[in-house]
């Protein structure tokens, strides 16, 4: 017995490095195996769906993308590491290049109008302001200044008013900025967008996600851009 123990100690002394490496490998393997077993046995996360309102006269809008995902997408898009598709600057990029004074002036000019529209139509004032800021570059682009269209609303076959061509598209024209804001409220609460009215008038996150889901102006990543604009300029304070 003593002879065997002596030989084992001698072997360990000569090959201690190999034994150490093998031991570490076994420990790492056992940990990975346990982690794998835990993951294998874990149930898949359940899909989240928006709660249905207690009473709704219109169709229910089921968002295919969680609101939190839109916020994460907005965070990632601040860095050009996760972008896919076109390299063209987004509406938010254009807005971000403006002088802060121009943005502040727009918010001061239209915050009361947006709040009045919220009370009448149930659209968050923050959504109205953010949408106007993005689609007109805080009221500085040609469509806003020459056509009083503050949301780039298209003509469409059912538009009875006057129009103008801008960037290859037919755009509605208005007599004043106020009529543009009113038509925007009507646009978001009727027709294809009527399902948005199921959301609370202060739940701007669901309004943003719903507008993108329903294809407002075919604007890519609209929800993330709206949420970033609301967050940056604290537009939620007007809701």
SS3 66: coil
Residue 37 belongs to some domain of the structure: no
Output the 3-class SS for 5-23: HHHHHHHHHHCHHHHHHHH
pTM (2 d.p.):
0.67
Residue 61 belongs to some domain of the structure: no
Residue 221 belongs to some domain of the structure: yes
Expressed as residue numbers, the domain containing 155 is 68-238
Interhelix angle 177-188/125-136, nearest 10 degrees = 120
Residue 4 belongs to some domain of the structure: no
**Model pLDDT for residues 144-202, shown as the tens digit of each residue:** 999 999 999 998 878 899 999 988 889 999 999 999 999 999 999 999 999 999 999 99
CB-based contacts of 196, cutoff 8 Å, min separation 6: 61, 123, 188, 189, 207, 210, 211, 214
Q: What is the pLDDT of residue 156?
A: 81
Residue 16 belongs to some domain of the structure: no
Q: What is the pLDDT of residue 120?
A: 98
Q: What is the pLDDT of residue 129?
A: 98
Residues of the chain with pLDDT under 70: 1-86
Residue 32 belongs to some domain of the structure: no
Q: What is the pLDDT of residue 95?
A: 95
Residue 56 belongs to some domain of the structure: no
Query: Percent of the chain at pLDDT above 90?
Result: 56
**Domain count along the chain:** 1
Residue 1 belongs to some domain of the structure: no
Q: What is the pLDDT of residue 3?
A: 53
Q: Which of 197-224 are b and which e, b meaning 16 or more Cβ less than 10 Å from the residue's Cβ?
A: bbbebebbbbbbbbbbbbebbebebbbb
Q: Which CATH number is 188's domain given?
A: 1.10.530.10
């Amino acid at each position: 017995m003593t002879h065997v123990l002596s030989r084992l100690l001698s072997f360990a002394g000569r090959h201690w490095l190999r034994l150490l490496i093998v031991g570490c490998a076994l420990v790492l393997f056992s940990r990975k195996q346990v982690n794998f077993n835990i993951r294998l046995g874990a149930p898949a996360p359940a899909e989240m769906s928006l709660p249905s309102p207690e009473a709704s006269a219109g169709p229910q809008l089921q968002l295919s993308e969680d609101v939190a995902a839109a916020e994460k997408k907005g965070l990632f898009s601040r860095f050009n590491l996760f972008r896919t598709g076109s390299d063209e600057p987004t509406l938010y990029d254009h807005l971000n290049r403006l002088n802060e004074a121009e943005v502040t002036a727009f918010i001061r000019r239209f915050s009361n109008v947006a709040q009045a529209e919220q009370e009448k139509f149930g659209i968050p004032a923050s959504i109205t302001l953010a949408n106007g800021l993005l689609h007109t570059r805080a009221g500085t682009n040609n469509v806003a200044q020459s056509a009083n269209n503050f949301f780039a609303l298209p003509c469409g076959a059912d538009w009875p008013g006057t129009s103008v061509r801008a960037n290859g598209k037919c755009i509605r024209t208005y007599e004043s900025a106020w009529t543009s804001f009113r038509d925007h409220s009507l646009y978001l609460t009727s027709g294809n967008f009527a399902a948005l009215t199921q959301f609370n008038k202060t739940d701007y996150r669901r309004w943003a996600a719903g507008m993108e889901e329903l294809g407002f102006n075919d604007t890519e990543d609209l929800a993330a851009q709206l949420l970033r604009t609301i967050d940056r300029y604290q537009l939620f304070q007007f809701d």
